[in-house]
Amino acid sequence: MDKQNYQQLTRTFLRLSRFSHLAAVAGWDMFAMMPPGGSAARGEALAELSVLRHQILTNPQVGQWLSSAGQEDLNDVEQANLREMQRHYDEAALLPEALVEALSLAGSKCEHAWRTQRPANDWAGFSANLKEVVKLTREEAKLRAAAKGCSPYDALLDKFEPDMTSARLDELFGEVKSWLPDLLKQAVEKQAQQTLIAPQGPFPIADQRELGLQAMKTLGFDFNGGRLDVSAHPFCGGVPEDVRITTRYDENELLSALFGVVHETGHARYEQNLPRSWPGQPIALARSTAIHESQSLFFEMQLGRSEAFLRRLQPAIIERFGMQPAFEEHNFIAWNQRVKPGYIRVDADEVSYPAHVILRYEIERALIDGEIEVDDIPALWNEKMHSWLGLSTEGNYRNGCMQDIHWTDGGFGYFPSYTLGAMYAAQLFHAARRALPGLEEAIAAGDFSALFEWLRQNIWQHGSRFSTAQLIANATGEPLNADYFRQHLTRRYL
Tens of pLDDT along 277-321? 999 999 999 999 999 999 999 999 999 999 999 999 999 999 999
Q: Binding residue per annotation — 267? A: yes
Residue 230, beta-bridge partner list: 247
The overall average pLDDT reported for the chain is: 96
pLDDT digits (tens, 9 = 90+) for 169-223: 999 999 999 999 999 999 999 999 999 999 999 999 999 999 999 999 999 999 9
> Active site residue: 111, 161, 264, 362, which one?
264
State how far the alpha carbon of 29 is from the alpha carbons of 34, 78, 173, 246, 459, in Å.
6, 34, 36, 11, 29
pLDDT at 1 over 70: no
The model's confidence at residue 233, banded by pLDDT at 50, 70 and 90, is confident
Question: CA torsion 369→374→376→381, rounded to 10°?
Answer: 90
Average pLDDT on 399-411 reads 96
State how far the alpha carbon of 134 is from the alpha carbons of 16, 30, 92, 150, 372, in Å.
27, 22, 19, 19, 11
Q: Binding residue per annotation — 293? A: yes
Mark whether 253 is an active-site residue.
no
What's the N-to-C CA distance of the chain in angstroms? 62
> Would you say the C-alpha torsion 97, 98, 104, 105 has a positive or negative sign?
positive
Reference 424, options 368, 469, 378; nearest CA is: 469
Q: In what order do the strands lie in the sheet containing 226-230?
A: 226-230, 242-247, 236-239
Q: What is the pLDDT of residue 271?
A: 98
**Helix extents (H) in 193-302:** 205-218, 255-272, 289-297
Q: Binding residue per annotation — 189? A: no
pLDDT digits (tens, 9 = 90+) for 77-92: 999 999 999 999 999 9
Reference 135, options 111, 160, 107, 113; nearest CA is: 107
Model pTM? 0.95
State how far the alpha carbon of 491 is from the alpha carbons of 183, 339, 440, in Å.
11, 14, 15
Which residues make Cβ contacts (< 8 Å) with residue 185, sequence separation at least 6? none
